[in-house]
Amino acid sequence: MSAIEKPIFNDPIHLSKYFGKSAEIVGTLAESMKQLREHHATLPQYSLALGAQQSTTNVTPDCQPVLNCTAEVKSAYQTNNWNKIKKLEQDAQKDIQPLYDLIKEKGDDAWVQVKITEVRGKMTHYYFYYAVYSNYGAVYTYCPSVQAATAKEQEDDPKCTFVGKTFYGVYSKTTNIMGIHSYNIDLPTTAVYLVLASMLAKAIIGIIRKGIAFLVSEFPAELTGAAMALGLETICFVIPVGALGTIGCCLVFVVCFIGLAELWNWLNRQYTILARVYNWSSNNDYTIVDQAVDNAVNPGKTKDQNTLNLSVNKMVKPKELVFPPGWDPMVTLDQVVFYQTIVYENDITFMHGCAFGLRIVNAKDTSQGFNYAFQCPAYANNGQHMYNGVSPPKSFLTNAEKYHMSNKTQNITSSNIPMSASMSALSGASDQTYTVNIHINHTSE
């Protein structure tokens, strides 16, 4: 997008470029929420005034963030081609930032309700979701269906009788990168799937407006507020303690995507480290078990919250991902990778840098894995260190004396699987923001 070209928002002429030939705009989120609220007000199972009781249910991550991209983009990340990666991030920012600015400005009125019509034999099917798009990119929320809770889901959440898996997606047309993640939203009583997409779209507005200063604990409050605005007065959401870490990474994904830097400037912060772990393995899932920090804090989390338990699943085929009906970008995206993002800010900002250490293990055999440590000293070069082992991150961080202060990629092997790590710069980043890319099986084809 050149400096003189401006994005055109929610123009029907661009709709089919993302969502297929049958896509049509049938309203806005604001209009849809008004209609749903009026409908729910007449139903006793949703209205406190009609005698219903409030129930607290869970919202949990169904899937960590995943990138769907081209082979060219995959190669740039696997080879740590930072010039290419930075260009991708800048282009994605130009595509997506205007959409986020529109959402911050207009809220519910920024989202359009999209209807898809599919004819299969003698049957006609209709699907609905919410989107904000331009000629350069799109974001959307989508819930395929609301299903009866399984016995296991009810065991984990006794008030849960129905579950809606609900997706958030973002697509940058210039870079041909699409990101998706999803939540399981538990319900005490059934609701149409459009309600879940509505709740997530409205909650996303609050997260985008807060930027990286959000607190994970605020997300269920945003969802609860969205449910109330829809007339679902009986629903109150919470996040189980064990799901806080992954929810946090999903919300970081919402705010940052692959590089929306404008949204995560903290007042008086001196250094920001964006640590991303990519799993290019087609055979093994991995887990980021825990972390140790030195003068570092994670936005969205309380201090000393060092247990992470973040899954980084093995690669899947694009057809195994759930896209909204009709999804039809102009370029085929045939590379899929799961990843996790952890953001670090220095706690004491005056004359202090920061450091962190991670323990990453094979999900099936937790005795196998590796340690990673990164240090960002005040007014000195950054350094990183990898080790084939699974030591507690605190002891590894304390004893990581062999920091590699070089822009060269560091490589190790763990259980015959190649691992690598690379940082965007040694020092001197214009905004004091540095990215670390940690790759599992970076040589995969």
Residue 5: inside a domain: no
Q: What is residue 265's predicted lDDT score, i.e. its pLDDT?
A: 47
Q: Per-residue pLDDT for 327 more than 70?
A: yes
- Name the band, by pLDDT with cuts 50, 70 and 90, for residue 444: low
Cα gap 171→185, rounded to integer Å? 23
- Name the band, by pLDDT with cuts 50, 70 and 90, for residue 430: confident
Q: What is residue 269's predicted lDDT score, i.e. its pLDDT?
A: 57
Whether 184 and 59 share a structural domain: yes
Contact between 181 and 168 (Cβ < 8 Å): yes
- Name the band, by pLDDT with cuts 50, 70 and 90, for residue 310: very high
Residue 411: inside a domain: yes
Tell me how many domains the chain contains.
Answer: 2
Residue 427: inside a domain: yes
- Name the band, by pLDDT with cuts 50, 70 and 90, for residue 332: confident
Whether 226 and 282 share a structural domain: no
Q: Which of 71-80, 255-264, 324-333 has the lowest mean pLDDT?
A: 255-264
Q: Per-residue pLDDT for 264 more than 50?
A: no
- Name the band, by pLDDT with cuts 50, 70 and 90, for residue 151: very high
Question: What's the per-residue H, E or C state across 404-429?
Answer: ECCCCCEEEEECCEEEEEEECCCCCC
Identify the bridge partners of residue 66 per DSSP, sorted by sequence position: 180, 338
Whether 45 and 92 share a structural domain: yes
Whether 242 and 276 share a structural domain: no
Q: Per-residue pLDDT for 274 more than 70?
A: yes
Q: Which range of residues forms the domain containing residue 189? A: 12-256
| Percent of the chain's residues with pLDDT above 70 | 95
Whether 127 and 36 share a structural domain: yes
Whether 249 and 274 share a structural domain: no
Whether 319 and 226 share a structural domain: no
Mean pLDDT of 143-156: 94
What are the pLDDT digits (tens) for 389-415? 999 999 999 887 678 888 889 999 998
What are the pLDDT digits (tens) for 194-239? 999 999 999 999 999 988 777 888 899 999 999 999 999 999 999 9
Residue 6: inside a domain: no
Q: Per-residue pLDDT for 431 more than 50?
A: yes
Whether 229 and 278 share a structural domain: no
- Name the band, by pLDDT with cuts 50, 70 and 90, for residue 248: confident
Q: What is residue 267's predicted lDDT score, i.e. its pLDDT?
A: 43
Q: Per-residue pLDDT for 372 more than 90?
A: yes
Boundary of a domain, candidates 202, 231, 256: 256
Residue 4: inside a domain: no
> For position 282, which CATH number holds?
2.60.270.20
| Percent of the chain's residues with pLDDT above 90 | 68
Q: What is residue 192's predicted lDDT score, i.e. its pLDDT?
A: 92
- Name the band, by pLDDT with cuts 50, 70 and 90, for residue 2: very low
Mean pLDDT of 347-373: 91
Q: Per-residue pLDDT for 382 more than 60?
A: yes
The average confidence (pLDDT) of the chain is 90
Whether 252 and 270 share a structural domain: no
Residue 57: inside a domain: yes
Boundary of a domain, candidates 238, 256, 274: 256
Residue 279: inside a domain: yes
Mean pLDDT of 138-148: 95
Q: Which of 29-38, 253-262, 374-383 has the lowest mean pLDDT?
A: 253-262
Q: What is residue 334's predicted lDDT score, i.e. its pLDDT?
A: 87
Q: What is residue 399's predicted lDDT score, i.e. its pLDDT?
A: 81
Whether 284 and 310 share a structural domain: yes
Q: Per-residue pLDDT for 70 more than 80?
A: yes
Whether 72 and 185 share a structural domain: yes
Residue 445: inside a domain: no
Whether 346 and 397 share a structural domain: yes
Boundary of a domain, candidates 206, 224, 256: 256
